[in-house]
Structure 1
Amino acid sequence: MNSAPGTSPSAASAASQRRLFLRFAIGADVYVLDTREILQVLPLAPCKRVPGMPAWVAGLGMYRGRTLPVIDVTALATGRAAARLTSTRVVVADSPAPGGARAPLGLILEQATETAHYDPSAFMPSGLDHRDAPYLGPVLDSGGVLLQWVRVEELVPAGIRERLFGVAGEAAT
């Protein structure tokens, strides 16, 4: 591996380990998503409510001519809906769907306007049992701010995933 002039091979290696993350907030706390899981970031738009779903399922939107299930991550984590601000976005993420398929999932995220590079290996276990919130991943101290990595794979419980993507999963087979 060739390093840039004036850069040590170990510094070049460390830089190559870094990934781009989208920063967002849930209340006063900062979280991150790996941008490799993100398909697109959209402005917040109204969703069609879906009766009978958990309160954190915001409803259905449209994405590239198809319906898009949308969840409110703040509501999932805290029980209160995300604030409707100009910095609140719908992040379209690549999510697991029934039958091993993949499908787009909309995530309403507050303050989702900044990205930053972090080394994934620098994140460390939180030390807590997150069985009721398995989407909460490891943490990183970034300049005195404790960031927590949210894993898209674990955001939606299997039973709700089947309800959100059941038709999409059937169409994919």
Structure 2
Amino acid sequence: MLFLLFELDRDRYALDAADIVEVQALTATKSIPGAPAWVAGVTERHGEPVPVIDLAQLALGRPSQQWRSTRLVFVRYHDAHEATLASARAAGDDETDDVDTPARLIGVIVERATQTRRIEREQFADSGIATPHARWLGPVASDELGLIQWIDVQQILDDDVKALLFPQTEPHTR
């Protein structure tokens, strides 16, 4: 598997490249009043608004530093509930009458995103530490430089933040 590697302070992390749509230089976001501090705001990609998560703020309680290597990574986000419904529909379960919902995009700000690396899934192992308030922290793998922790972008948003960023209302019209 191919991963985008990045750092938060001195620790290394990885995002699965299969989830990544685009990596670009960090750009300004429009803030969302009332959102948690780790929701950096919203930006625009190809004319569509995309919510942005500041991973340093989420993980460390501080805003991402503006390094040259700080990046805005657009990733596909599949709501776990929606994925379960889609699987049930694919299996022919008539109880699921919801319309298929495509993956949404979220932007994730990461620091020191300087390389990609192939790491086989089998190289990752459970960290041995339960992180119920950071479900997005996945298993770890090691290389010559130490440990790398897999970040599961599908687990970043809790239900309250999903409701804030992806409200189930009709589009706003004037």
Distance in 2, matches of 1:158 and 1:121, equals 30
Structure-1 residue corresponding to 2:51: 69
Using the TM superposition, give the Cα deviation of residue 144 of structure 1 relative to its aligned residue in structure 2, in angstroms. 3.7
1:64-114 per-position Cα deviation (integer Å, ceiling 9, x unaligned):
110010010010001100101110000000012497232000000001121
* TM-score normalised over the length of structure 1: 0.83
- The answer for unaligned runs of 5 or more in structure 1 is 1-18
- The answer for unaligned runs of 5 or more in structure 2 is 83-100
Q: Which amino acid aligns with 1:127?
A: G
Using the TM superposition, give the Cα deviation of residue 156 of structure 1 relative to its aligned residue in structure 2, in angstroms. 1.1
157-166 or 26-35: bigger deviation: 157-166
1:105-142 per-position Cα deviation (integer Å, ceiling 9, x unaligned):
00000011210001011100000011010000000111
Distance 1:145 1:70, change over 3 A: same
Give me the CA root mean square deviation.
1.6
Runs of 4+ in 1 over 3 A off after TM superposition: none
Larger RCO (alpha carbons 8 Å, 6+ apart): 2
What does 1:102-117 align with in structure 2 at a 5 Å threshold? 102-117=103-118
Distance 1:45 1:132, change over 3 A: same
**Is the CA contact 2:25–2:70 (under 8 Å) kept in the aligned structure 1?**
yes
Percent identity for Structure 1 against Structure 2: 36
Aligned residues: 152
SS in 2 for 1:121: helix
